[in-house]
Amino acid sequence: MLLGLLGGLTAGFGRLARGSEGTHAEVFVGNERVALLDLSRPHTYTIKGYIGAATVVVDAGKARVTQAPCSGKRCIHVGWLSRTGDASLCVPNRLMVKIAGVAENSADAIVG
């Protein structure tokens, strides 16, 4: 039941508190930030989560999850993220993509 409730919240999670245009996307798997993606550089990233790989696409100052191994695909249905605070969650894969402001470094991407 708890996963159903959390899953139901994921589709609209990123739209609750929209801020200014973001500059980068932070990608978390579990509690660990695994990537910092520059929104000004179009690219497709493969991120390994707990149950499989997910695809995150960055284009035209926004990011979105386009492929995920979960059954509900709510993280995909959230669509494009561009404003600070926007986020997409994949609960089964423990993946979160969150838009943030000015990055603390100038790297195009950090994937580890």
Instruction: Report the alpha-carbon angle 5-62-41, nearest 5.
Output: 135
The rounded distance, in Å, linking the Cα atoms of 88 and 27 is: 10
The pTM (predicted TM-score) of the whole model is 0.76
The pLDDT of residue 111: 66
The rounded distance, in Å, linking the Cα atoms of 58 and 35 is: 12
- By CB atoms closer than 10 A (0-12, 13-18, 19+), residue 16 is exposed
Residue 77 DSSP class: H
Please determine, looking at this structure, whether the domain spanning 2-111 carries the CATH number 2.60.320.10.
yes
pLDDT tens track for 46-102? 999 999 999 999 999 999 999 999 999 999 999 999 999 999 999 999 999 999 996
**What residues contact 110, with CB distance under 8 A and at least 6 apart?**
35, 36
75-80 long-range Cβ contacts below 8 angstroms, 24+ apart: 75/10, 77/11, 78/10, 78/11, 78/12, 78/13, 78/14
The pLDDT of residue 62: 98
Residue 21 DSSP class: B
pLDDT tens track for 24-43? 999 999 999 999 999 999 99
Q: Domain segments of the chain: what residues?
A: 2-111
